[in-house]
Amino acid sequence: MPKSPPSTSRKRKKLPSPPTSDDSRQKKRRKSGKIKILRITDDVDFARNDYDGRIKRREERINAGYATKRYKAKLEKLKKEKKLQAQIMKKHPGKSWEVCQRLADLQGIATYLKSIKDPHRELPNVKAIMAAYEKGKLKWDDNATYWCQGKMIAGPSVFDWQDFGRLNTKENRGDGGFCVEGSNNDVQVPELNMILRLDKSIHGLDPDLTKDSNGEPFPEVEMKFTDDTGATMMTIFHDDMLDLMGGDAEGATAPVDYLMGYESFSNADGTTRHAMIIAVEVNMNGTDKDGNKLLMSDTWSSIPCSVFEDGEAVECRLHSIVLNLL
């Protein structure tokens, strides 16, 4: 399920104020600089395939002594992913990572078409497109190409619906299918930079009073979300949830004080997925005129958030690419 932003219409429940003595003590601690909330920005600082940058960041966290057990495990996982990526790219010397991934996708499409006996005769186009990538005649960029009967009949050029209508004719198709390669390259999926933290307001406490088992405030985690208007709830993955748990992720599998149970979600294909629901607080991240980060609101919104078990999602994706390219 795509990640989705919370509804802006949701109102935050007013909670009782903490005792005056605690409030005064916390204000003094904030003023003295003794309270420092960690902001984890890995998801927005690095591209998904920037393994060197992501590995360096994890090493920095380990050297700083932060959640060392968890980050050592994350570091080993990243190193495995980087090794798998290198194995994939070795099979296609000189090809970009984007082309390697596209070749794997096309191989998967070819396998699927064979399984359904290629009813619209698209397989010749798919094989020809793969061959063009392999020979370096085709790049994965902002251009589209148009294919009929296993041959490129137009492009590369920026995709245009008029070109599609002009070229997709019975005369060009013959007894085969018509295929556009690269038409989705420049589709911009709206993304939002959000900041999440475990809902510190649910116990009616000052945020600084809610800490992990090491006595440290729970971190605030910046994440990129796809703006999906069809989603019913904000969605994160299990690894994201562990980031929110701070030091508690070393010995616990879920933030039990913020657990709201489980829920079922229906997919467009009719299947059902199940996810844990936790209480989080969210805010939007923006920038001022000088490019400095700032919160878009003085108030954090409390919302339920679904947590899907991603497991080894990225590694599985890499393994599937390896298998498709064998």
Residue 11 DSSP symbol: P
- In this predicted model, what pLDDT tens digit does every residue of 172-194 receive, in sequence order? 998 889 999 987 755 556 678 88
**Average pLDDT of the residues of the chain:** 79
Least confident window among 147-151, 163-167, 224-228 = 224-228
Q: Considering only 90-94, 133-137, 200-204, which range has the smallest mean pLDDT?
A: 200-204
Instruction: Say if residue 2's pLDDT is above 50.
Output: no
pLDDT in the model for residue 203: 63
**Long-range contacts, 98-103 (Cβ 8 Å, 24+):** 98/140, 99/133, 99/139, 99/140, 100/321, 100/325, 101/321, 102/133, 102/140, 103/130, 103/133, 103/134, 103/324, 103/325
pLDDT per residue over 14-26, tens digit each? Answer: 333 333 333 343 3
User: Please, which residues have CB within 8 angstroms of residue 59's CB and are 6 or more apart in sequence?
Assistant: 75
Model confidence at 169, in pLDDT bands (50, 70, 90)?
Answer: very high
**For residue range 240-288, what is the model confidence (pLDDT) as tens digits?**
999 999 888 888 888 888 899 999 888 777 888 889 999 999 998 877 7
pLDDT of residue 151: 95
**Least confident span in 123-132, 213-222, 309-318:** 309-318
Domain layout of the chain by residue ranges: 21-47+188-311, 97-139+141-184
- pLDDT at 12 exceeding the cut of 50: no
Radius of gyration of the CA atoms of the chain, in A? 24
Find tokens 């003295």 and name the residue: 32
pLDDT value, residue 217: 82
- Whether pLDDT at 301 is above 70: yes
For residue 310, the model assigns a pLDDT of 64
Please give the residue that has the higher pLDDT: either 190 or 312: 190
pTM of the model: 0.67
Separation between Cα atoms, residue 141 and residue 184, nearest integer Å: 10
pLDDT of residue 106: 93
Phi/psi at 101 (5° precision) = -65, -40
Report the SS3 class of residue 106: helix
Tell me the mean pLDDT in the region 59-87: 88
Please state the rounded mean pLDDT for residues 51-63.
90
Which ranges of 116-232 does DSSP label H, i.e. alpha helix?
A: 123-134, 161-167, 170-173
